[in-house]
Structure 1
Amino acid sequence: MAQKSLKKNAVYSFIKAFMNLAFPLISFPYASRILLADGIGKVNFANSIIEYFVMIATLGIGGYATREATRLRDDRSAHNKFCKEILIINFISTAVAYLFLLIAFVFVSKFSEYRLLLIVCSTKILFTTIGMDWLYNAHEEYKYITIRSALFQLLSLVLLFTFVKTKDDYVAYAVMGVFSSVGSNVCNIIYSRRFFNFFEKAKIELKKHLRPIFVFFGMTCASKFHTALDSVMLGFMLNDTSVGYYSAANKIRSLVQGLITAVLYTFMPRSSYYLEKNKIEEYNALVSKTVNMSLFFSIPASVGIIVISRPLILLFSGEDFLGALSSMIVMAPIVFIVSLSSGITNVILIPNRLERYTFYSEIVGFILNIILNAVFIPVWGVFGAALATLIVEIAIALYRYVFCFSFLKKCNIIKNLVQIIFASAVMFIGLWMLLKVIHDILLQIVISVTAGAVVYAAVTLVLKNESAYFLINEILKKVNKSKS
């Protein structure tokens, strides 16, 4: 199989992540002003619940299947057999997830208030399974994934503006959310015939996959529990409005973070491939690039969110959500923390089959999150949930860093980190002064993003930052190529 360009993969993944950012920037401000914090809170509470059942259906298959399918993709027969086995396991786990959801409807009385919403959101369970994103990641089909996702997001916007008209249309908003996030996965089952034939005869061996799958499942469980736990505990301990505030702050942070982690994830299949082919020099170079790029983009992004948090809340959600301001500021550093943690997981732990350390870190995070939420939410409410999330993500990142130290010490992190922090501090001061003289919300955001990027780029180039020079050289190559 011919190697796809890693740069193009990263670009397509960035475009997809940017669309994931642009879509909510259009849809969420519209929806939040119509549904208000209460309606948004209802939908997010239902989605948080369904995430647990999606987790059961996916069973940790994504990470394991991506890694192993990448290793086998040059062997058509073995690859076909593997994909068939994984899909069978996935359909079984999906059936189990729906069974558990049915039991939950019977025994959890609070779910009766959200029954219709939960049913609508539960279609994600099936769509996620038939989507087989792991197959397309293994084959690095990021162009197809990007085009497919963009088309369905555009269709979702039409649905949003057509059917969400009053504060009682929160169910329609939930339908639109499902359609935009996983509706495109229906196409995947058809397109997958390019890569494997489900009906080709092969000896099915499911048992050998179960142990590694359940390790990944443990990772996914702990991760989903601690990421969705805040909204669920706020919903049970406080009210829908509190969930709405937290969701607004968390959504903005997650969107920015998603731009970075989406690009970093594209390195995982290639790093697995390099290790399989024993290309150690190329692998070490990829690890260094991943870590330094993560720092280069995530630290100024965190700083930028802190500076323009108020105009972001006002533009993105409206004055009704200003109660989320302090939570958004305290969660801004999570962009940097999770980006670095995700980077080292995707290119070090998983490719080297050390995912058990990711699992252990998520268990630590889950337990810590329960304790901190139980203590902080009654005292500080939404801000307490945000503070708990920040502390948990720091603990998880530090845990993983310890087990990746032997790889990371080759990456020249300290020098780059000092340069990036200095450049981000200069950017912060410049933007803080700029916002003192600009009062229009939209102008504050547009000018801050533009000026912040220019200042940060200029300072890192003056400091001769390795990542900045790499990016500028790549841009110049593209420019020269287009001229020629």
Structure 2
Amino acid sequence: MNLKRNFFYTIIYQLFTILIPIITVPYVSRVLGPKGIGLFSYTGSYAQYFVLVGMIGISLYGNRQIAYNKNNKEKMSKDFWSIYSLQFITSILSFITYLIIFVFINKFNRTLYLIQSITVFTIIFDISWFFIGYEDMKSVVIRNTIVKFIGIICIFIFIKKPSDIIKYTFIMVISNLIGQVIMWINIKGKINFYKPSLKETLKHLKPSLALFISQLAIQIYTLLDKSMLGAITEVYEVGLYENSQKTIKLALTLITSLGVVMLPRMSSLHSQGKKEEFNQLIYKAFSFVNFISFPMVLGLISISNTFSIWFYGESFNGIEFLLKIGSILIIFIGWSNILGIQVMLPMKKEKQFTISVTIGAIVNFILNLFLIKQFKATGTTIASVIAEFSVTLIQFYFLKEIINIKILLKSIIKPLIGSMIMFLILMFIIPMFKVGVFWTLIEVVIGSIIYLIVMYIIKDPFLEERFNAIKIKFLKR
């Protein structure tokens, strides 16, 4: 499938996946409150640990293997079934272990933990890595969008009071399960059935584990944050942190979608020895990320005070500070996504990638120990920003002989100038506006127009390239 088209469908898929909680947040936040949201997030964080263990790095490893062999149906089919067999075994073991610990032994919030077990059970059916590696997301996006839309409707119909936290959790996990199951419909015709031997299955264990270690470290940023925050303070603080991160993740969707789509393409280019094309895509990716991440950060800082009031409700007072601090993650995650996912993994630099994210995880853990008790959710957010910065810095160091740092730093200057001018103007005019959905949209539109005008005036290379591409297409017609 065409890279741009696949990027488009992947954006839709990830956007809708994240938009589900974003669309429902204003309603659910007011019904369940910070404690309800925090309880859902806190119990869910433990289920996610077992999801991670059950997948043992297969999401990235399987994606890459399918990308390597997508032009050889027989080889791809063998790889798919042997990798999936490994996933099936580890997923079942992870699910059983979760039930023993959180349902049979644990005595607190047992019903919630039981419902959250469906999240762990769901990974048995997760073959999204195949479609990402195969570069075909269209049919999957359409089917999953319908399922998730039904989930949104159910939330508005059945969630009416704080005690409906059980119903809310059930709707969220069941929607995810159905979405994964229907993916199997789309695989028909793409691969042949193959029954792998135990030896063929286990040969994927070692390379998967290499990526699993790095994924484990990455997940510490999000999962351990919630677990430690809930254990050291209270679920109220987890609720504040959870909702602030949802907003930041929405802003990150474009960037992370680029990483998902680029991984199979970069893997393919590297395996074919196309070094020049490989390097060109790296610099294009950085130009894209810088162009959108800087205005996102300063834009979110600008509107956070008024946005948080109408979006989350008065019970989430203080969340605006988390948004301002956490918005910086957009830049660092954008850079590390390119360096780690789009460059290191295709080049099979799993060891260096794992070192970088492990150091980041350690930094995050240590800072959480010192900051959470005094600063609560704000401390967790600060720890995440510093940890993500350390990951990016280490990855730059490992790739210093491959990537020209001067070129990358140069690509930051104009987006930073454009974003600063936009920020200063917004800070001057926003006090003139009222608080509400309409006024926030007006602020976003004004900010976007200002940014694009400034970038056009200072002749930003990325914007000029996009304009030229549009002109060429228009002239051809």
Aligned to 1:164: 159
Q: Deviations over 1:287-343 (max 9, x none)?
A: 111122111111211111111112232232111112222122111100111011112
Following superposition of structure 1 onto structure 2, how do residues 116-155 of structure 1 map, counting pairs within 5 Å? 116-155=111-150
Q: Structure 2: which amino acid aligns with 1:97? A: S
* Alpha-carbon contact 2:53-2:94 (below 8 Å) kept: yes
Is residue 187 from structure 1 mapped to residue 182 from structure 2 by the alignment?
Answer: yes
* Alpha-carbon contact 1:311-1:442 (below 8 Å) kept: no
Distance in 2 separating the partners of 1:461 and 1:52: 46
1:202 Cα deviation from its structure 2 partner:
7.1
Q: Which residue, 32, 49, 73 being the options, matches 2:70?
A: 73
Q: Which residue, 203, 206, 209 being the options, matches 1:208?
A: 203
2:172 counterpart SS class: helix
1:130 Cα deviation from its structure 2 partner:
1.1
Unpaired stretches in structure 2, ≥5 consecutive residues? none
Aligned to 1:295: 290
Q: Which residue, 340, 349, 355 being the options, matches 1:354?
A: 349
Aligned to 1:34: 31
Residues 138-147 or 325-334, more deviating:
138-147
Aligned to 2:80: 83
CA pair 187-389 structure 1, distance change in 2 beyond 3 A: same
1:405 counterpart SS class: coil
Q: Which residue, 75, 99, 112 being the options, matches 2:96?
A: 99
Moved runs in structure 1, 4+ residues, more than 6 A? none
1:464 counterpart SS class: coil
Q: Structure 2: which amino acid aligns with 1:113? A: F
What TM-score do the two structures reach when normalised by structure 1? 0.94
Distance in 2 separating the partners of 1:24 and 1:310: 20
Q: Which residue, 41, 63, 70 being the options, matches 2:60?
A: 63
Is residue 11 from structure 1 mapped to residue 8 from structure 2 by the alignment?
Answer: yes
1:439 counterpart SS class: coil
* Alpha-carbon contact 1:21-1:256 (below 8 Å) kept: no
1:10 counterpart SS class: helix
Residues 97-106 or 356-365, more deviating:
97-106
Distance in 1 separating the partners of 2:380 and 2:414: 32
Distance in 1 separating the partners of 2:372 and 2:195: 54
Unpaired stretches in structure 1, ≥5 consecutive residues? none
Q: Deviations over 1:89-144 (max 9, x none)?
A: 001110121132133227864xx322222222221223233121110011111222
1:479 Cα deviation from its structure 2 partner:
4.8
Residues 99-108 or 171-180, more deviating:
99-108
Distance in 2 separating the partners of 1:261 and 1:404: 20
Following superposition of structure 1 onto structure 2, how do residues 41-440 of structure 1 map, counting pairs within 5 Å? 41-105=38-102, 109=106, 112-199=107-194, 205-409=200-404, 412-440=407-435
1:201 Cα deviation from its structure 2 partner:
7.0
1:183 Cα deviation from its structure 2 partner:
2.8
Residues 99-108 or 411-420, more deviating:
99-108
* Alpha-carbon contact 2:118-2:174 (below 8 Å) kept: no
1:261 Cα deviation from its structure 2 partner:
1.1
Q: Structure 1: which amino acid aligns with 2:281? A: L
1:257 Cα deviation from its structure 2 partner:
1.2
Distance in 1 separating the partners of 2:113 and 2:120: 11
1:415 Cα deviation from its structure 2 partner:
2.1
Distance in 2 separating the partners of 1:29 and 1:197: 46
* Alpha-carbon contact 1:59-1:213 (below 8 Å) kept: yes
2:162 counterpart SS class: coil
Aligned length: 477
What TM-score do the two structures reach when normalised by structure 2? 0.95
Q: Deviations over 1:1-27 (max 9, x none)?
A: xxx211111222222233234333321
**What is the CA RMSD across the aligned residues, in angstroms?**
1.9
% of aligned pairs identical? 26
* Alpha-carbon contact 1:25-1:316 (below 8 Å) kept: no
Q: Deviations over 1:345-378 (max 9, x none)?
A: 2221010000222211221122212211111111
2:200 counterpart SS class: coil
* Alpha-carbon contact 1:11-1:263 (below 8 Å) kept: no
